[in-house]
Amino acid sequence: MAKLRLAVMISGSGTNLQALIDACADPDYPAEIQVVISNRPDAGGLLRASKAGIKAVVIDHKKFEDRESFEDALHVCLKDHQTQLVCLAGFMRILNAEFVNRWRDRMINIHPSLLPSYKGLNTHARAIEDGVRFSGCTIHYVRPEMDNGPILMQAVIPIAPDETPESLATKTLTYEHQMYPAAVKLIADGNVRISAGKVVFKDTELGETGLISPLI
């Protein structure tokens, strides 16, 4: 059976990209990365791709006159590599509705909060400031509205009394690195579909255990 063809879009160090690279190194994993695209020529994830023998492309947004021409170049690159699923992994550019709709239900993103709470930036600091007991991370299908779309997978992470944004970010990344390959596998195995704006699963075990913090 043919593997799902992935394109991973990054702007930074690419730790979630590395998690996907490691997963794809398993011959039994049902997806493979065809191309890594960065909008920044200094993104550390480009080196990760190169070390893994994966084609890496820089499409620098600063070299385009407007967002539309930049996104047209992204679209052409994705099509040239016969992309079936776009994985945004720390891609720090807001995408226009036209581009998002071209890849509707074929593009996913990871966000460091329990969406729909704490959309946007500084999620860890905001959660700590609000005194919430749990944070988390979310993988979702992308829609034109920022950090919105059908939720595919989430992890719940307790916030410690002495938590800092940095410590919470470190904890969150450990879950992100587990989740992204698992989420892609669900899609590649055909166990996910979208109905009425929500993700519906097939042959997938869903968690039933709740968490309470502080412990009682």
Sheet holding 56-58, edge to edge: 56-58, 31-38, 4-10, 85-88, 107-111, 134-141, 151-158
Catalytic residue among 111, 124, 140, 177: 111
| Dist. CA 33–CA 123, nearest whole Å | 29
Helices (runs of H) and strands (runs of E) counted in the chain: 6, 9
Nearest Cα neighbor of 149 from 72, 86, 191 is 86
Residue in 160, 75, 146, 71 with CA at minimum distance from that of residue 111: 146
Which among 54, 61, 17 has a CA at the least distance from the CA of 39? 61
Contact 9, 16 (CB under 8 A): no
Q: Give the whole-angstrom CA distance, residue 118 versus residue 127.
A: 7
Task: Take residue 127 and report the two structure tokens written for it.
Answer: 């959660």
**Would you call 177 a catalytic residue per the annotation?**
no
The catalytic residues are 111
